[in-house]
Chain A
Amino acid sequence: KNQVEQSPQSLIILEGKNCTLQCNYTVSPFSNLRWYKQDTGRGPVSLTIMTFSENTKSNGRYTATLDADTKQSSLHITASQLSDSASYICVVSAGRGSTLGRLYFGRGTQLTVWP
């Protein structure tokens, strides 16, 4: 069964600290994996997208890693800021070649950054 599991469900950290969010998936065939940030009341915004051959990708203070063998991804946030408070959603796309495959969504990790 194709699934995307994220952990933890919620996380509270102090401003300036680092944190790592986890995403495990069982989606096959794998096409790509993305991390989204969703602020309250807004639409999700893409942070990173990684294909099978990529194992790390950065976007400012956000660094995503992908281990396609173990089907795990992580999102590392460095020097957290209050504006990082949001839900972070992992999305895995199934498919091959140029065909858009079905998208599988994690339930998200709710991150709260305290001053």
Chain B
Amino acid sequence: DAGVIQSPRHEVTEMGQEVTLRCKPISGHDYLFWYRQTMMRGLELLIYFNNNVPIDDSGMPEDRFSAKMPNASFSTLKIQPSEPRDSAVYFCASSFSSGTVIDYGYTFGSGTRLTVV
């Protein structure tokens, strides 16, 4: 299995531009998570999906951020318009549910390093 695949690995964009981050979860996983990591705040959960449906988006910082999961094998995180404070590493992770512990096989992608100048 190729694991969780994220693209691009690095993104540099100008303030005000739209940025789209992409994620392909592990086949068969029914949960998908988007995280943001900064030196100041560490890892933060932004939003997660179960069976392509957004379950909890309470971590999304503001309306400039949106996430979609049109099918079981693809998700996007969009920032529009981007701001310098959005600069961070964005991780996608996926897992599957089994019994009462619903997040087995929790696997992170390699992340997208976003720099907004």
Contacts and interface: CB of A to CB of B under 8 A. Distances in A.
Query: Are A and B associated in one complex?
Result: yes
Interface of A: 31-32, 34, 42-46, 49, 51, 89, 91, 93, 97-100, 102-103, 105-108
Contacts, number: 49
Contacts of B44: 105
Contacts of A100: 31, 48, 50, 55, 102-103
A48 to B, nearest CB: 11
B108 interface: yes
Contacts of B50: 100
Contacts of B55: 100
A97 B58 CA distance: 21
B36 to A, nearest CB: 11
Contact of B43 (A32, A46, A51, A89): A89
A68 B103 CA distance: 20
B91 interface: yes
A108 B41 CA distance: 11
- 5 smallest A-B Cβ distances: which pairs? A43-B108, A105-B43, A107-B42, A44-B108, A100-B102
Contacts of A106: 42
B31 A97 contact: no
Interface string B24-68: 000000010000000000111100101000011010000000000
Contacts of B111: 42-43
B80 interface: no
B97 A102 contact: no
Contacts of A31: 101
